[in-house]
Structure 1
Amino acid sequence: MSATRAADAADFRGPLDISRAATVVLDGRDTVVGWSPAATALLGYSPREAVGRPLSAFLAPLPADGPLPAASDHPVTPGAPGAPAASGPPARPGPGPPPTGHEIRLARHRDGHELLVVTTLCPLAGARDGGGAGGGAPGRVLVAAELGELRQWESRLALLQGLATQSPVGLAIYDTDLRLTWSNTAYEREIGKPLAEYLGMRADELYSGGRFVTPGYPSTLEAVMHHVIDTGEPILDLHFQGTPPSDPGTEHLWSCSYYRLEDSHGHVFGVCEDAFDISDRQRAQQRLALLVEVGRRIGTVLDVVTTAEEIAEVTVPEFAAAVRVDIARVTVMSGELPATGGPAAMDLLRVGEHSVDPAAADAAEPLYPGAPGSPADRYPPVAYPPGSPQDRSLASGGLVLDDNVLVVPLRVGGSVLGLVTFVRSPRPRVSGRPLAHGPATTFDNGEVALADELAARASVCIDNARRFTRERSASLALQRQLLPHHVPPQSAVDIAYRYLPSDDVTGVGGDWFDVIPLSGTRVGLVVGDVVGHGLQAAATMGRLRTSVRAFAQLDMAPDELLTRLDDLVGQPGVPQGPPSDAYDELTTGATCLYTVYDPVSRRCVMARAGHLPPAVVHPGGRVTFPDLPAGPPLGLGGLPFESLEIELPVGSLLALFTDGLVEARDHDIDQGLDALGRVLGTPAASLDELCDRAVSALVPDATTADDTALLLARTRQLDEGQVAEWELPAEAVTVGRARELATGRLTAWGLEELSFATELVVSELVTNAVRYGGGPLRLRLIRDRTLLCEVADTGHTSPHLRHSAEDDEGGRGLFIVAQLVQRWGTRYTPAGKTIWTEQAFPPAEFD
């Protein structure tokens, strides 16, 4: 039933009212002698069917236990067509005793279903008890109604009683002349008088001087109420500002709603007002708005003095009439923490103040004593006398409230950076009344807590500014230590690089690069970028660089290396431990480009994780940017990385760089890439000269908002005389043949001294390949800065170094090989694996 229909059907007569309830007349033997139409409507029996039958045929006592039908159940006759299947016993009625003087009984309807009714008995005047011989004469009247109907009626009465006596919302009814005809208890408390004393008064007499402040509506009570009476349109949540008679010295704010009252015939007889005092909520919203404004305007730059001035400006006049900010001298001048030791040890400078009320500003010592000019005069020293609120705050380390002066220390950990003094003046008065706007004269508990929160936020901003210079210096030192200091010569490429840290405002970033020697004279080139700036970004950069180096030494393909690095970055931290216990949750969003170049095959394999692709400059000067799949940034997970393999002519140039080189505020990345291509395509005397040209053209001021890394690599190819390669069958006789080929090549190279060790190495590796791998086999020797020996097969099982027991018949070969070479390892390819070893040349070869 809708609310409108419910209001139309409202009947405040009780369900047991004899004018509407089911009525049964009984004789002395409880035989029905009278049956009302309402009884027929309730139980379904006509008077002819009911009269003469015992009452027990229709009503039964309520059993002490067992299932009962719910008060609102009206099931059809069991077994009747369309009746639902039985699903269990009906529910017992809700808790609560029957109304006083009433009895709950079980009634049987004519169609067979049962229902709960409330009954009461009324004796008839002149009737004899017990009935006697005249048992057929009327003796009592039984009145019955459904239990649910009675409960609903009682709830309606309880609601009306609650609205009148217990509701916190003030309710009042005004007639069409806008005179008060009724109000509830909450309204009486607001007025501060019994209803009889203000009954019949007009609304504007009760709240003289009040007004509506919601835009778009009339400002007076009379105009709003007349509008509701005339149009019938309700008005909700209209804000009214005024002074209640119960609190004449304070202005309050109410949320008011108005709706027209009509009788059952549609005749308008007044308007109802409900009002709820939202003054506390408004003050809380104003304080929250001030906190939001503080968060928006304080700490815009990492400067102590600017932050102090922002504190003073944002809190006047909304919170105080005058504000002074005093900061310790060492914090202003050098960014250090002040010494602790009481007020005598604190040397303060006045660095910020703001005032709109000269009277408040003059409540203590004059602001900014001394003549302007030098920095010392601009920020003069401030000394507070013993016993002053500021002196007590410094001594205790806590806030001090003294009449209209509130002093809050700027605390950071166990240190006090300075003081903020809030001063209020008496509220200006107009026509003998104080103005409603602006802060009050004194600070209440909520405002003291707000001031403490404001000072806490300001302390964080000031401490951030103090830490900035020291952190930047530490970050630069760490970054210089983590980046390569010297790149050793490589047989595969010629190298040149440049690195520029970001500007002083942005702070040190996390850009990095590296050149990694790999097996088989290959080289790994890598650049990366960590999101963020500062010490954390520099430390994260160092971790990523170390991880890439570790994975690269395992001879992983570029796409596999990035996958492993992504898994490592994406590992969740340990919530219970300090941030250093986790790998680094802040590395999410880091980018990386990894490239491997082989000077034997001139093949270059590259993969990237959200990074810019490299630039490739062909020997003729043509510049291209390979269409390399981007891949997601590190730490996101879920998407695979893809590699791209290209063949580079000898003398090609690879340029790896970070976005700080090609992206700037005045142009986008595409413009920067075009400019970089033009620079790289121009011939230069050396790679170092080309690096300088690129940096000068794209970063003319040598400072950017982000770090800049540029790595140039010009490709080489090993001479054919440096490489010897043979393809052999996977047969037992191949071992001897491999030894002969290896020793013969060493003799041709003049490396006879390495023949014995190399023969053992080749014999062991080829034997393992024949026994555990698959053919064909490939033996390769490379004479570079060291002697490299490689045996490739089609198997994917890598040998493991172990210590054999005395009774083992095998397992010592790889252990012997490890003693004869400098390094050894395994790298996997799509066709199988390659076991490689590296031996140092004899001293004469170095000479």
Structure 2
Amino acid sequence: MDDHRFPFLDGVAGALIDGSGRIVGCTTAAEDLLALPARVLCGRRIRDLLADPEHWPDPDSDRGTWDGRAVLRTGDGRPVSLDLRVLSLHGGSAGSPGDVRQVVLGAPSATADRWRQDQAFSRELFLQDRFGLAVFDTELRVVRTNTHLLPYSGVPPTLSGLRLADFLQPEDAVAVEAHLRQVLESGQPLVLAEELARTVVDPRSGRMMAISAFRLQDTDSAVIGLTVLFTDITEQHRARQRLALLHRATAAAAGSLSVTGTAEDLAGVLVPELADVAVVDVAAAVFTGDEPVPDRAGNLLLRRTAVAGPPGSAPATGDTVMVGAEGTPGEGGTNPRDIVDDWTITAPLAARGILLGQVTTRRDRWRDPYEEGDRLLLAEIASRTGLALDNARRYTREHRAAVSLQRSLLPPAVRTVAAVSTASVYLPTDSAGGVGGDWFDVIPLSSARVALVVGDVAGHGLQATATMGRLRTAVRTLADLDLEPDELLVHLDDLVSQLLIEADVADAELGDDLPDPEHVPSRHEPGSLGATCLYAVYDPVTRCCTLASAGHPPPAVARPDGTADFIPVTPGPPLGVGGLPFEASEAVLAPGSVLALYTDGLIERGEGDIDEGMAELQRRLAAVGDEERPLRDVALQLVAGLPPTRLRDDVTLLLARTRAVPARDTAAWSVQPDPAAVGQVRADATAQLTAWGLEDLVFTTELVLSELVTNAIRYAGGPVGVRLIRADSLTCEVSDGSSTQPRMRRARLTDEGGRGLYLVAQLTNRWGSRYTARGKTIWTEQELPNSS
């Protein structure tokens, strides 16, 4: 018989005792323990080997089986403590000294103590009720279990001989057996591997088990199975899941400043971990940035904003829900709160005591019902989301205010003047910083000319918008002076430099008023007052476009022949940098050309190169040169699909389709510096106006030209030039070689002169003067008859 079949007998010594108490036979283990050979031991009285022979039972006693501990003398003089079991034999011939009456089994006391400990450990282990214990054979069949192995619905009362797949869901059984097979093959213990256990009878959420296992081997190292501990950690696992879900929901809510985006992120996080269907309803007022206010009945109108779950599992977004101000159902409305059971829970979305909406979650009946921990989790998620929703509401309010302010500072999107017809598109960025400082303008100038402006203030938010408004106002003021583009940018650069100095001084003063200036945030971000600008002046009489750039991209032009290119411009530094002059460039444009002025947001597409964006703009412009198409449609087509990713900067596009004033609509004369020549000027002007059919303007025009030409001859000296332009108004120009600007003043009763310019201003719609390369030009404008 193989020894490994009885490993519990290893180390046990045995001896046979006859009726006289003498040893008649022994095992090899007895010889080893007592350090005496069998020939010496046989025939000796066993009492003679005991240190205390009085406690040895008599072979004829009726004590039956006796267990005890005794100290025996060994052959080398060492005492050895043995745990003994004496078995009395019955049925032999009584009275014969040679009859065997007892069997003595013994083992070292230390070994016996370990056996008892092992036995007690195994016994108590199988009696524990805090974890499941099972012994599996090498085929992963259950051999033995404690009474608390998976005490859940669907587990058979007797598992002996079964495999896990006999009572667990197939995928769960496969996952657990994969761990156990690895332990069998490698011998490496398994420690706290987490797996889900769902029974075939109850396939709901099941229980999460922490599985530990070690391999079992006999004395000759043969694998005979493994022992597995199953610890139910469902509550701990759910607690971890809830905490992780709370963190994800908080991060999702904080990741958006959009009301709809916040609601959609919340619904997406809740499904499928907490719910099969999640519905988020938000008060209608929140979408406009306002605080929700209940009606007179105390009800609040909510809009279904986000739904997550299978299609058709909940009403579509856009539906309305009426709830009470405290989150209770309102009259006349449907409310998810009307269905309240163990599979549906609702929590209010509130901040600062104001109800902003509600979130409702629902589980299918095949899942476990909601527990108190789930209700507390949803309440906490709703509380944090309520704060995020309130932040989104406030941002919406501020963003709308900023966009409204910015749009109020910009001209109409579509406009028509004598020189050009224009259309524009403005796309604000989606960044958290809010709208930027992009602006454009179309400024009518004297003599039917027009100024086209596009600028970009660095930064976003109200600071950038306010700076944009100041710069646009400054450009309009400087444009009224009829400055050349490069000269205008010089004055604008001085203004931005002054704004930067004032901002630095304001920051320093703000810091002085607080105890810790180092931690006071600046009122403006670095560079937030810097700006770029492109200023162009188009003259429809000469068809010449003069432009200058302060760090701004060059304009593009689509020509009537179907080609498109960029007008060469020598860009100066951005406004506020200073140090370099601005240079003006000129380009002659054919009538019907489409001039495109834009900010860099149009050509900075996603992560692409600016050159690629400019090439794409040029390609698109070449395809939209059809003069019959509305310019607004052209502008929308140019920005369609831009950019492929979220806008990183505002996009502003200004298109201007050029016009030309025909030669027949202009008339010019040179006037000698002689007062007698004034009469001829009046006569020539009268004849021209009559030819144009403007007889109603003859009287006024004669008075204006008489005054202006007389003043030029009297004060300027040298040749005088006169020009009439018929466009959307009648322009009268008088040019001379003097650089002295006229000044209008109110004449006193005793003055003999000084009333000329005052009369000119009273008789015309507008008047002014501008410097030229050879002096100055004084101009007036009169409204054409029936032009209104």
Q: What is the TM-score normalised by the length of structure 2?
A: 0.49
Q: Larger radius of gyration, structure 1 or 2? A: 2
Q: What is the TM-score normalised by the length of structure 1?
A: 0.46
